[in-house]
């Protein structure tokens, strides 16, 4: 069995914490581990499990790889999508990779356990029991989906109606239905015939390819062409960009699961949530005696049913009910908890205005560490830069800006033109405009420095790279 972890979501309804450049699957929302890490860790103990295949987009590749390394896990393959095409093509790429490699376990037709990277599961034992129950069905050729046993009349999820029995406690799928209104959701709950559509699946790689070819041959052909033109880049597999861009954008539900005659549903009662909104996170986590979910430096008086996340400063609430308040470095969200599904409207407005807050945080992670944009004005910008031990930035040059570096912790090895120098705490150096340079941390502790940029243009695209450890262009 090969886990296929889909890491391509943007999590816009969890803005401002989740953003396109660093979305919710890379954040620790439901515990100390990030959601990607929790997805990988809940697989521990499943029998005959191979290393996972990850599917993610180009911009998230280093975050995905490093987060797995942090928990002592490694992917057998990280497939990079040059553009988003939804889950049907993503799973097709993973199936083609699994069939090519045999999962590294000598099985030329492995089972694929397809898991979104951004879901929460409270009961890992129940999750694994459902996977074990589904295994025999998948080995027999069924395309198995996991139906979450509903605990309430939820209008935010799609549903699966079960059909005739397919074994002990499992059923064939009668139909998939869209997100219902409240009255319809109540009827689904009362009937006992419906489960929430989890977006998790188990099937043989060949069976998925076969069904996709039968129902959406165009998608399969585009993915086969993209995979055939793939190139290895460090630990990543880059599929052919032009071929994949020509692929139709379609979910696995629409492309395959709603059309196949071989769909089966296995019930799962494991404390599952897709953590698709702030209200979903509020429902998932432990709350105080007034039903408030508080994170960070929060002061609350006469308030109930609220979610407050204060990452950077004191936030006070007085005499309010059912609010969501999320404070980050550069944005604050205040919303009615009943309307948090509409947060994506704010993100869309930011995009129309070409505001950077839709795309990235003030703190931007890189494979070598991160930088935090502290201040900016006409012709200047100030950043705090942290470089991990043993890491270095690219050898680069800027056409439009000069840089001053002041080391506040650790030691920096600086390449500046033909010079190489060591800069230690409370020392500084200057990089003139147009001079080739590189910053490296040769030490065993994080290197921290303050960078002051000055010039006519300070955008991140003013970087000409001559050499880079991470294959960036």
pLDDT of residue 471: 79
Residues 259 and 391 grouped into a single domain: no
Number of domains in the chain: 3
In this structure, the answer to whether residues 218 and 155 fall within a common structural domain is yes
- DSSP assignment of 273-339: E---SHHHHHHHS---TTS-EEEEEEEEES-BS-EEEEEEEEEEEES-BSEEEEE-SS-EEEEEGGG
Residue 358 domain flag: no
Task: Tell which of 253, 273, 293 closes a domain.
Answer: 273
Distance CA 216, CA 212 (A): 5
Q: How many CB atoms lie within 10 A of CB 339?
A: 13
The DSSP output letter for 391 is: -
Question: CA-CA distance, 43 to 379, in Å (whole number)?
Answer: 50
pLDDT computed for residue 312 by the predictor: 87
Residues 268 and 282 in one domain: no
Q: 227 and 108 in one domain?
A: yes
Q: What is the CATH number of the domain that holds 196?
A: 3.90.550.10
Q: pLDDT band at 104, cuts 50/70/90? A: very low
In a domain, 357, yes or no: no
The rounded Cα 208 to chain-centroid distance in angstroms is 24
Residue 6 has pLDDT above 70, yes or no: yes
Q: What is the pLDDT of residues 167-193, one digit of tens each?
A: 777 889 999 999 999 999 999 999 999
Evaluate whether residue 473 is within a structural domain. no
Does 150 lie in the same domain as 123? yes
Segments forming the whole domain that contains residue 338: 278-352
Q: Which of 47-51, 72-76, 100-104, 252-256 bottoms out in mean pLDDT, i.e. has the lowest? A: 100-104
Is position 386 within any domain? yes
pLDDT at 195: 94
Tell whether 165 and 25 lie within a shared domain. yes
What is the band of 448 on the pLDDT scale with cuts at 50, 70, 90?
A: very high
Same domain for 117 and 263: yes
Angle between helices 87-101 and 205-215 (to 10 degrees): 140
Cβ atoms within 10 Å of 362's Cβ, excluding its own? 16
User: Are 330 and 438 in a shared domain?
Assistant: no
- Judgement on whether residues 244 and 268 belong to the same structural domain of the protein: yes
Q: Of 352, 376, 410, which one is at a domain's C-terminal end? A: 352
**One domain, residues 306 and 448:** no
Q: Rounded distance, CA 109 to CA 203, Å?
A: 10
Confidence of residue 433 (pLDDT cuts 50, 70, 90): very high
In a domain, 291, yes or no: yes
pLDDT in tens, 390-416: 999 999 999 999 999 999 999 999 999
Cα(427)–Cα(364) distance, integer angstroms = 25
Alpha-helix runs per DSSP H in 173-256: 182-191, 205-215, 217-228, 241-245, 252
CB 339 within 8 A of CB 347: no
Residue 98 shares a structural domain with residue 126: yes
Cβ burial, residue 191 (10 Å; 0-12/13-18/19+): exposed
Of the candidates 64, 67, 66, the one whose C-alpha atom is nearest the C-alpha of residue 81 is: 64
Does residue 105 surpass a pLDDT of 60? no
Q: Point out the domain boundary residue: 273, 306, 330.
A: 273
> 437 and 455 share a domain?
yes
Q: Is residue 399 part of a domain?
A: yes
Look at residue 246 and tell me if it is in a domain.
Answer: yes
Instruction: Judge whether 49 lies within some domain.
Output: yes
């Amino acid at each position: 069995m090969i886990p296929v972890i889909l890491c391509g979501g943007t999590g816009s309804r969890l803005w401002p914490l989740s953003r396109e450049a660093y979305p919710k699957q890379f954040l620790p929302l439901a515990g100390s581990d990030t959601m990607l890490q929790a997805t990988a860790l809940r697989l521990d103990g499943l029998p005959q499990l191979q290393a996972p295949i990850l599917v993610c987009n180009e911009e998230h590749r280093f975050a995905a790889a490093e987060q797995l390394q942090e928990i002592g896990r490694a992917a057998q393959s990280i497939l990079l999508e040059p553009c988003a095409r939804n889950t049907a093509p993503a799973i097709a790429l993973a199936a083609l990779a699994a069939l090519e490699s045999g999962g590294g376990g000598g099985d030329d037709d492995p089972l694929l356990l397809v898991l979104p990277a951004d879901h929460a599961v409270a009961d890992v034992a129940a999750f694994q029991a459902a996977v074990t129950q589904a295994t025999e069905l998948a080995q027999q050729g069924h395309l198995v989906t996991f139906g979450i046993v509903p605990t309430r009349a939820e209008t935010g999820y799609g549903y699966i109606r079960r059909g005739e029995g397919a074994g002990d406690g499992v059923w064939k799928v009668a139909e998939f239905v869209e997100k219902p209104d409240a009255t319809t959701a109540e009827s689904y709950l009362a009937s006992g015939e419906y489960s929430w559509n989890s977006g998790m699946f188990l099937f043989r790689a060949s069976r998925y390819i076969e069904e996709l070819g039968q129902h959406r041959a165009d998608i399969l052909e585009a993915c086969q062409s993209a995979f055939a033109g793939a190139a290895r880049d460090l630990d990543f597999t880059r599929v052919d960009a032009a071929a994949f861009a020509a692929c139709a954008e379609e979910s696995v539900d629409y492309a395959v699961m709603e059309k196949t005659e071989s769909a089966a549903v296995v019930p799962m009662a494991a404390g599952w949530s897709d953590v698709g909104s702030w209200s979903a996170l509020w429902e998932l986590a432990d709350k105080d005696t007034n039903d408030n979910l508080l994170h960070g430096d929060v002061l609350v008086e006469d308030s109930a049913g609220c979610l407050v996340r204060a990452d950077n400063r004191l936030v006070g609430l007085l005499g309010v009910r059912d609010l969501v308040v999320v404070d980050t470095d550069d944005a604050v969200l205040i919303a009615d908890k009943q309307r948090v599904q509409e947060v994506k409207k704010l993100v869309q407005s930011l995009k129309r205005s070409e505001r950077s807050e839709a795309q990235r945080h003030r703190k931007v992670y890189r494979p070598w560490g991160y930088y935090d944009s502290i201040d900016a004005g006409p012709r200047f910008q100030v950043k705090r830069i942290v470089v991990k031990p043993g890491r270095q930035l690219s050898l680069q040059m800027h056409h439009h800006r000069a840089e001053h570096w002041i080391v506040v912790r650790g030691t920096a090895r600086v390449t500046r033109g033909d010079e190489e120098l060591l800069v230690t705490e409370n020392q500084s150096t200057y990089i003139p405009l147009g001079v080739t340079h590189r910053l490296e941390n040769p030490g065993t502790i994080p290197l921290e420095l303050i960078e002051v940029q000055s010039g006519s243009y300070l955008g991140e695209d003013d970087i000409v790279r001559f050499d880079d450890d991470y294959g960036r262009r």
